[in-house]
């Protein structure tokens, strides 16, 4: 039923991805900074014996990424999906509303989590993705279709430059725009040769997580998704993408977002 790696698996959308994929029967490599304190993830692991492998990985530390990639290569051999789920608005947990809120350190930390980490994941896991390409649970719609592994980054609509009409949220907007550029770059490099990887950026909508909680009052009725809703929408996209979709930036409803 395929093998998936979720980076940022201990809470929020990442945790829900682990739950949804394990329920499908997929093998899930759940990566998080502190496995010893990831109680919800451990509970999920106990509900799906043999399907969830918890691996320590701090996405801001290249040594951790290298160690995890070597472990996955040795113990799992291939990946059919890698989803980068971790993200922060800023180190303070709030989007900056003006220049006076910015700090150099805050920008660095936000970029490290939202942009630098995911592209380093691509660097160190690309070979394992090239070895994959199976279906992530469920049935094959077309048994003759050649399947390609998927590398997906959790972006955000506010990372769109042409869609920016309000300003603010400097570090979050900038880091997600950088992530989108990295995704496009990766789609070109990992689209060459015989073993290709589909690379996409995904906007999950506004989801009921710790990251978005300070802004729930501004969300229109019916537009605040549960984690399950959002992951179901994103998995529907992941399930259907083919190589013609690589390098694209999709909203939760499958529509393309302008970069």
pLDDT digits (tens, 9 = 90+) for 40-88: 999 999 999 999 999 999 999 999 999 999 999 999 999 999 999 999 9
Task: Round to whole Å and give the CA distance between 149 and 128.
Answer: 9
Contacts of 156 (CB under 8 A, 6+ apart): 87, 172, 176, 203, 204
- pLDDT of 141 higher than 50: no
| Residue pLDDT, tens place only, 187-220 | 999 999 889 999 999 999 998 876 655 655 566 6
pLDDT score for 136: 77
Global pTM value: 0.92
* Band (226; pLDDT cuts 50, 70, 90): very high
Instruction: Report the share of the chain in percent with pLDDT over 90.
Output: 84
What secondary structure letter does DSSP report for 146?
Answer: P
Answer whether 201's CB lies under 8 Å from 179's CB: yes
Alpha-carbon distance of 201 to 180, in angstroms, equals 6
Two tokens at 30?
A: 């759940």
**Does position 231 have pLDDT exceeding 90, yes or no?**
yes
| Per-residue pLDDT, 218 | 61
Which residue is it, tokens 């999906």?
Answer: 81
What are the tokens at 73? 């290569």
Query: What are the chain's domains?
Result: 3-251 (3.40.50.720)
Helix 170-189 / helix 117-130 crossing angle, nearest 10 deg:
20
Q: Are 210 and 162 in contact (CB under 8 A)?
A: no
**Whole-number pLDDT of residue 135:** 75
| Matching residue, tokens 């014996």 | 49
* Positions of E strands within 117-193: 149-154
């Amino acid at each position: 039923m395929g093998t998936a790696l979720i980076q940022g698996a201990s809470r929020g959308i990442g945790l829900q991805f682990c739950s949804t994929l394990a329920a499908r029967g997929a093998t899930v490599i759940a990566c998080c900074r502190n496995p010893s304190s990831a109680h919800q993830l451990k509970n999920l692991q106990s509900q799906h014996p043999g399907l969830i492998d918890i691996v320590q990985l701090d996405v801001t530390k290249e040594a951790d990424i290298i160690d995890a990639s070597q472990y996955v290569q040795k113990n799992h051999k291939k990946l059919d999906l890698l989803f980068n789920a971790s993200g922060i608005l800023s180190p303070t947990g709030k989007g900056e509303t003006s220049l006076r809120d910015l700090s150099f350190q805050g920008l660095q930390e936000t970029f490290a989590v939202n942009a630098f980490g995911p592209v380093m994941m691509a660097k160190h896991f690309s070979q394992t993705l090239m070895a994959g390409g199976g279906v992530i649970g469920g049935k094959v719609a077309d048994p003759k279709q050649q399947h390609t592994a998927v590398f997906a980054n959790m972006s955000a609509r506010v990372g769109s430059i042409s869609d920016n009409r309000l300003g603010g949220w400097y570090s979050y907007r900038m880091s997600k725009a950088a992530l989108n550029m990295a995704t496009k770059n990766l789609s070109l490099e990992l689209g060459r040769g015989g073993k290709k990887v589909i690379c996409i950026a995904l906007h999950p909508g506004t989801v009921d997580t710790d990251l978005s909680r300070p802004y729930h009052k501004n969300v229109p009725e019916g537009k605040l998704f549960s984690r399950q809703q959002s992951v179901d929408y994103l998995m529907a996209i992941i399930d259907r993408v083919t190589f013609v979709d690589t390098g694209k930036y999709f909203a939760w409803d499958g529509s393309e977002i302008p970069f």
